[in-house]
Amino acid sequence: MHYSFQFGEVLKHWPDLLTGALITLVVAFIAFWIGCTIGLLGALAEMHARSGMRKLVRGYVVFFTNTPSLIQIFVLFYGLPDVGIVLSPMTAVLIGLSLNAGAYLTDIMRSGLVSVSKTELEAAASLNMSAWQSFRYVTLPHLAKTIYPLLSNFFIWILLGSSIGGLFGVNELTGVVIEIGSSTFRSIESFAVAAGMYVVLTFIASAFLYAIGYWCFRVRARFI
């Protein structure tokens, strides 16, 4: 049976596609920075907190890095209402992606913190720097420069992983494409266009991250 491709039926919805792409970037940006905050706090806790807190953080990391994000978001969106907590699709997806990212970023941040040399910390102490000053002027710059390439790659991973939101009714790029495919009966064309748009989004994000890394930290992040 001959199939006739009609991309025009999909492309005439370009305003919705562009809006979905923008929402995809926003979701990835928010989840990434919340994840970075969780990851940094988790890494510091694993290195400096008491035994009970370290075990709690490690349990969180093990759980979220060994279960699919789809199941995590499913529990948040469909499970929490049974205990009286109702989340919107966007909120559930953001919380799920952020918690998942935070678990992975805890290990990434910890590897960066471990790499700070004792000599640098001792030099900061000899200058009578407080713990906060030592973290701000010694540890944080070293951390940013050391793990920036990993963080850049991880942002791209979140950007692509945010497509899971479409399964829960979030109108990011994949969600919009699902709706367009359902209304036009052109699913092949719809997802082909989505694939091309994800390539463009990844290219733009990679170029931006590469520029930030080079000009701010003098490191070269991966560029497509």
Residue pLDDT, tens place only, 170-215: 999 999 999 999 998 899 999 999 999 999 999 999 998 888 877 8
pLDDT tens, residue by residue, 123-137: 888 888 887 888 777
Answer for the pair 209, 155: CB distance below 8 angstroms, yes or no. Answer: yes
What is the DSSP track for 92-150? HHHHHHHHHHHHHHHHHHHHHHHTS-HHHHHHHHHTT--HHHHIIIIIHHHHHHHHHHH
- Beta-carbon contacts of residue 143 (< 8 Å; ≥ 6 apart): 109, 112, 113, 116
| One-letter amino acid of 132 | W
User: Which domains, ranges and CATH numbers included, belong to the chain?
Assistant: 8-217 (1.10.3720.10)
Confidence of residue 221 (pLDDT cuts 50, 70, 90): low
Long-range CB pairs of 71-78, under 8 A, 24+ apart, other chains included = 72/96, 72/99, 72/100, 73/97, 73/164, 73/168, 77/168
pLDDT at 223 over 90: no
Crossing angle, helix 14-48 and helix 89-114, to 10 degrees? Answer: 40
Q: How far apart are CA 114 and CA 2, in angstroms?
A: 60
Please state, as a whole number, how many other Cβ atoms lie within 10 Å of the Cβ of residue 14.
10
Q: For the chain, what percent of residues have pLDDT higher than 90?
A: 66
Q: How far apart are CA 89 and CA 86, in angstroms?
A: 10
Give me 16's structure tokens. 């919705």
User: Where does the pLDDT of residue 160 fall: very low under 50, low under 70, confident under 90, or very high at 90 and above?
Assistant: very high
Question: Residue 137 CA to chain centroid, in angstroms?
Answer: 26
pTM: 0.89
DSSP-derived letter for residue 7 is T
pLDDT averaged over every residue in the chain: 90
Extract the runs of DSSP E, i.e. beta strands, from 106-185. Answer: none
